[in-house]
Amino acid sequence: MPQRTVSAAETELIQKAHQYMPGGSLGNIGKDIVISEGSAGRVRDASGNEYVDYLLGSGPMLIGHAHPEVIEAAREQLDKGTTFFANNDKAILLAEEIVRSVACADKVRFTSSGTEATFYALRTARAYRRRDKILKFEGGYHGMHDYALMSMSPADPHDFPRPTPDSPGIPRSIQDEVLIAPFNDLETAAAIIEAHHDELGAVIVEPFQRLLPPQPGFLQGLREVTAQYGVPLIFDEVVTGFRFAYGGAQEFYGVEPDLCSLGKVMAGGFPLAAIAGKDELMTHFDAASTESDAFMPQIGTLSGNPIAAAAGIKTLEILRREGAYERIFATGQRLKDELQRMLDEAELPAKVIGEAPLFDVFFTENDVTDYRSTLLADKPMLARFNELLLARGILKGDSKFYISLAHTADDIQRTLDAFASAIDELKR
């Protein structure tokens, strides 16, 4: 098996990481690897090893690393100032483009992270509804705030709709304000909403949950039942926004929520996220347009940062160019199809799940449609597969292949060769 060469310099950095940071990491992926640079669809570690990159910074780098036009846009803004804590032209123009492209967006508020965006989206919906409870879906990821960390990845899930906290330090009272439903089970979700609609301030869902596409009719049914009871529906599009289509998952799946959160792709690799939604909800951010007891303050030192907004404007311009999404989808679909074919030919029980721009393999014979079915997959086998790919120059997270516009034919061939070699070793 190929081995990654680790230099003395990278070894020293890894040792310092373990000395100065909990777990020796930033809290993201736990691999002992130090990335020093990235260009287009590849990255290099501090030892000089090069990888085809399907981690893509956990998704933001949809057009590739260090895109020269994005770098130039950011550099131009750097010369003009880095942050102002006031309106700036770049943030205003980015907000205009979001409203133009995202179906549910009448107004936009910026934050610095997706966690903030989903947190404020939930608060906005609760302010509008004057109700405290929220409903989220088991296995759904909405960042790192207390509400999001209910039944995100429970090892021993409770009966629905009772939540399971995923972290210590969360007040017990939060558990009383969160209801949990199974993704892709419209009957159960609708029944919970119907039973608790008088208490619900919001329903939040990833329209594409982690790696799980919605079953036909699921999002449409969720839209119908929330609209029936006047409960705001929030799509967490931090991952899917501008990735599945220029208008996000709401365009791709044809379902329009009341609010959405955006991030990752929108900021071109810089720290920027947003809440976008209907006027009647977003007005709670405006002290001049709402009653004093309904006004919802939202302050962030770097919210709408002009450097990040400049990078975002240029990134979205590149994605609007002819053929951009066709290329992303063609790349992802080829890798998906070939990976499934190789696994089938090797007679390894496995299913490649997701959409072309974002997918992974589950080592299981069972259908994978919700969080509990993912628990039946062979996770040690996936971890082994990831290790084998890393040794062959393919970088990905613990789960997910993120596809970029910058991946070349050579990147694809190198990946397919790595798939074949890694699968051959998995069979032994």
CA separation for the pair 97, 108 (Å, rounded): 10
CA separation for the pair 85, 103 (Å, rounded): 28
List the alpha helices (DSSP H) in 85-215.
89-101, 114-129, 172-175, 186-196
Give which of 405, 399, 332 is closest to 371, Cα–Cα: 399
pLDDT tens-digit profile, the chain (428 residues): 566 889 999 999 999 999 999 999 998 887 789 999 999 999 999 999 999 999 999 999 999 999 999 999 999 999 999 999 999 999 999 999 999 999 999 999 999 999 999 999 999 999 999 999 999 999 999 999 999 999 999 998 999 999 999 999 999 999 999 999 999 999 999 999 999 999 999 999 999 999 999 999 999 999 999 999 999 999 999 999 999 999 999 999 999 999 999 999 999 999 999 999 999 999 999 999 999 899 999 999 999 999 999 999 999 999 999 999 999 999 999 999 999 999 999 999 999 999 999 999 999 999 999 999 999 999 999 999 999 999 999 999 999 999 999 999 999 999 999 999 999 999 98
Contact 393, 51 (CB under 8 A): yes
Per CATH, which fold does 8-66+327-427 belong to? Aspartate Aminotransferase, domain 1 (3.90.1150)
- Architecture per CATH, 68-319: 3-Layer(aba) Sandwich (3.40)
Q: Is 236 a catalytic residue?
A: yes
The segment(s) of the chain belonging to CATH 3.90.1150.10 are: 8-66+327-427
Quote the pLDDT of residue 1: 52
Q: Is 400 a catalytic residue?
A: no
Q: Is 279 a catalytic residue?
A: no
Work out the number of other CB atoms within 10 angstroms of the CB of residue 256: 17
Quote the pLDDT of residue 372: 97
Quote the pLDDT of residue 134: 98
CA separation for the pair 307, 311 (Å, rounded): 6
The segment(s) of the chain belonging to CATH 3.40.640.10 are: 68-319
Per the residue annotation, which of 264, 314, 336, 400 is the catalytic one? 264
Quote the pLDDT of residue 29: 84
Residue with tokens 């609007």: 320
Per the residue annotation, which of 51, 54, 120, 141 is the catalytic one? 141
Per the residue annotation, which of 45, 236, 360, 411 is the catalytic one? 236
